[in-house]
Structure formats: C-alpha cells, structure tokens
Amino acid sequence: MEQFFYSNKKLTSSFVKRIGVEGFFDALFFLETAHRIKPDNNCLSLILKNLEQSIRYGTHELPTGLMYDLEYFEELVIKFKYYFKQIGKSEKWSLFKKNCLDLLRHLKYFEKNKLDCIDFEEDVSKTNIEELVDSV
C-alpha cells in the first residue's frame, strides 16, 4: 500500500489533499482512519498485520539491539494490544501479543537497570529473552 502512495507523488498529493491529510502518513495511518470511519474485522486484521511487521522489523537485530527506541517500540506493542482486544479471541494473534508484552517487559527491565546490567547480550543469556525474540 505504501509503495503505491510513494510511487506516484502527484496522485498521492491530490488524494491526501482531498481527504484532508497534512504532513506524514503511512499505511497504518490509512488503515486506522478507515477503521475509525467504518469498524471492520478485515480492517482490524490488516492493522494487526501492519503492526506485526513493524514489531518484527524492530526486533530482528535482538539481542544486539532494538531497531527503534524503546518508547516507540512500546507504542507499537500497546497499539497491537489495543487492536487485538477489538478483534476478539484470535489464536492467530494471541501468542504474538503475549510474546510482545513479555519482550517489552524484559526490554524495559534492562533499560531501567542498565547500570546494573554490564552487557545486554550477556544478561540476555540469563533470561528467556532469546526465545521471546525468536517467537516474535
């Protein structure tokens, strides 16, 4: 979706102007806007898929490092949790949500205690964070 918008600047500019969007936009913005206008489980699934991709990208270098700052990563996980709650029970997303929340908890712990944590990678070996990363 984003590739379409970024591939034709004239069409994109005209479209976003007509719907009253100013400044930065991305696929998630349009999906969330569409869902606000007309709530729909198909749209919710697309939102969750988009957030899943962003979270997976953000964690693909762990345990070496997170691709986003922790605050933004937390924002993605909270959004995922929010939309997951709206879609109802979904086995497809349940484990992913749980693992994201567990990973976030671990990352926040390491961030808060980084003075006590000599080496993140070494500390990771003492927890199950690698399993969480692999599962996310």
Residue pLDDT, tens place only, 24-35:
677 888 888 888
Q: Name the token pair of 60.
A: 């693909």
Q: Output DSSP code: residue 113.
A: T
pLDDT score, position 95: 86
Helices (H), 1-136: 2-7, 9-18, 27-37, 41-59, 70-87, 91-112, 120-124, 129-135
Question: Is the model's pLDDT at 37 over the cut of 80?
Answer: yes
The burial class, CB within 10 Å (0-12 / 13-18 / 19+), for 8 is: exposed
Top-confidence residue, 48 or 127? 48
pLDDT value of position 131: 59
Contacts 24+ apart (CB under 8 A), 55-63: 55/80, 55/100, 55/136, 56/136, 59/103, 59/133, 59/136, 62/129, 62/133, 63/120, 63/121, 63/124, 63/129, 63/130, 63/133
Q: What share of the chain has pLDDT > 90, as a percent?
A: 21
Identify the band that residue 117 occupies on the pLDDT scale cut at 50, 70 and 90.
low
C-alpha to C-alpha distance for 96 and 99, rounded to whole angstroms: 5
User: Amino acid identity, residue 44?
Assistant: L
Average pLDDT for residues 23-46, to the nearest whole number?
A: 84
pLDDT confidence of residue 55 = 92
- Phi/psi for 120 (5° steps) reads -55, -50
* pLDDT tens, position by position, 54-102: 998 888 776 666 778 889 999 999 999 999 999 877 888 888 888 888 8
